[in-house]
């Protein structure tokens, strides 16, 4: 097994990185090897000898000078993959220090996370209320094995997925990983398996609890049996676990049917939306950090930019001097 394969095995089985992160890191390391050697058929000692400050700096420059140059953000991601690999080599006594730490990273403009307004989300839930009703459940019971039944189920699933992503502030991978045993309706808590296999508990509000319970009734009818607590909380129409592309499509399609939700339609924007609302309600930053499962406050502080932008907008609309163009009033 090559050093890169050993590192990927370590990320997957020890660090418990998500499949998406593992794919990104694998691609970044393979790109380094191919751009440096022109082939992936190299010996481990050749790779180790190529991990020095000058080689890595040269690689960084090449990434930014490709026919289709990488953005500074993507270049930084590639550098992070190389840095992680070097830390793994240090841990295994194959190199003494991390050369990536000596290479300056390209500057990245801070982006304010996209989010949906509270009114936009309320409009979505109002517009799709029928998919969370007892009446829809009754209709599904009568035709669950037909194409119409499949359509009703998928509409119901999309709504409860959006409600969970938005109501719990989940990452897509965290939503997919939820099992029936992770939802404690009695204690009103959801146990979430976060990044690095870290666990956290999130309060389950009554409205979301009702949505999930109604959805589970439909699933039991569809499956024709009582499901095990070890089974996934959310499943497709054929009873299979959800997967990333399915969640992305469901969210994009469902939000796209509501006219007042503009911009990117994705699971992560729903997570941003909850964080932004909590920030605007002056929820302590550390509480938001714990709810979102961030490893540091720095990751959470990005939402303060959204709050400041909103404050600035309110100021410019409401402050007397702002309305007067900064002139002295009466």
Q: Is 294 an annotated catalytic residue?
A: yes
Mean pLDDT of the chain: 85
Write down the pLDDT at residue 164. 96
Q: pLDDT band at 141, cuts 50/70/90?
A: low
pLDDT of residue 68: 84
Which segment of 6-15, 42-51, 240-249, 318-327 scores lowest on mean pLDDT? 318-327
195 flagged as catalytic: yes
Please indicate whether residue 32 is annotated as part of the active site.
no
- pLDDT digit string, tens, across residues 152-210: 889 999 999 999 999 999 999 999 999 999 999 999 999 999 887 789 999 999 999 99
Band the pLDDT of 328: cuts 50, 70, 90.
very low
> What are residue 293's phi and psi, to 5 degrees?
75, 30
Confidence class for position 326, pLDDT limits 50, 70, 90:
very low
State yes or no: is 271 an active-site residue: yes
Catalytic annotation, pick one of 159, 172, 271, 289 = 271
Q: What is the pLDDT of residue 260?
A: 74
The share of the chain scoring above pLDDT 90, in percent, equals: 50
- List the catalytic residue out of 171, 193, 272, 289: 171
Give me the catalytic one of 195, 227, 252, 305. 195
| Domains in the chain, CATH or no CATH each | 3-102 (1.10.150), 118-314 (1.10.443.10)
Catalytic choice (105, 227, 252, 268): 268
pLDDT in tens, 278-301: 888 888 888 888 888 887 777 777
Question: What pLDDT sits at residue 320?
Answer: 52
Catalytic residue check, 268: yes
Lowest-confidence region among 190-194, 272-276, 308-312:
308-312
Per cent of the chain over pLDDT 70 is 88
Tell me how far apart the alpha carbons of residues 183 and 276 are, in angstroms, rounded to a whole number. 25
The winner for highest mean pLDDT among 10-24, 174-188, 223-237, 315-329 is: 174-188
237 is catalytic: no
């Amino acid at each position: 097994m090559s050093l890169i394969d050993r590192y990927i095995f370590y990320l997957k089985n020890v660090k418990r990185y998500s499949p998406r992160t593992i794919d990104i890191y694998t691609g970044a390391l393979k790109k380094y090897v191919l751009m440096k050697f022109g082939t992936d058929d190299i010996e481990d000692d050749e790779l180790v000898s190529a991990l020095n400050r000058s080689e890595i700096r040269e690689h960084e420059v090449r990434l930014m000078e490709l026919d289709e140059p990488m953005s500074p953000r993507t270049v930084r991601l590639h550098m992070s993959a190389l840095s992680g690999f070097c830390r793994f080599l240090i841990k295994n006594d194959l190199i003494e220090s991390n050369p990536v730490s000596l290479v300056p990273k390209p500057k990245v403009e801070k982006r304010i996370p996209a989010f949906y307004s509270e009114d936009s989300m309320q409009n979505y839930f109002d517009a799709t209320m029928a998919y969370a009703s007892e009446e829809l459940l009754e209709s599904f019971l009568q035709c669950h094995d037909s194409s119409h039944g499949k359509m009703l189920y998928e509409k119901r699933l999309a709504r409860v997925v959006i409600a969970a992503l938005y109501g719990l502030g989940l990452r897509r991978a965290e939503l997919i990983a939820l099992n029936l045993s992770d939802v404690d309706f009695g204690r009103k808590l959801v146990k979430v398996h976060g990044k690095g296999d870290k666990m956290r508990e999130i309060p389950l509000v009554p409205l979301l609890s009702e949505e999930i319970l109604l959805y589970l009734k439909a699933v039991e009818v569809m499956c024709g049996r009582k499901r095990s607590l070890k089974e996934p909380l959310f499943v497709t129409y054929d009873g299979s676990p959800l997967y990333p592309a399915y969640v992305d499509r469901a969210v994009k399609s469902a939000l796209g049917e509501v006219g007042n939700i503009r911009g990117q339609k994705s699971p992560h924007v729903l997570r941003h939306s909850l964080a932004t609302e909590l920030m605007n309600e002056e929820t302590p930053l550390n509480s938001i950090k714990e709810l979102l499962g961030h490893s540091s406050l720095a990751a959470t502080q990005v939402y303060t930019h959204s709050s400041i932008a909103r404050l600035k907008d309110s100021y410019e609309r409401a402050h007397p001097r702002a309305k007067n163009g900064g002139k002295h009033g009466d």
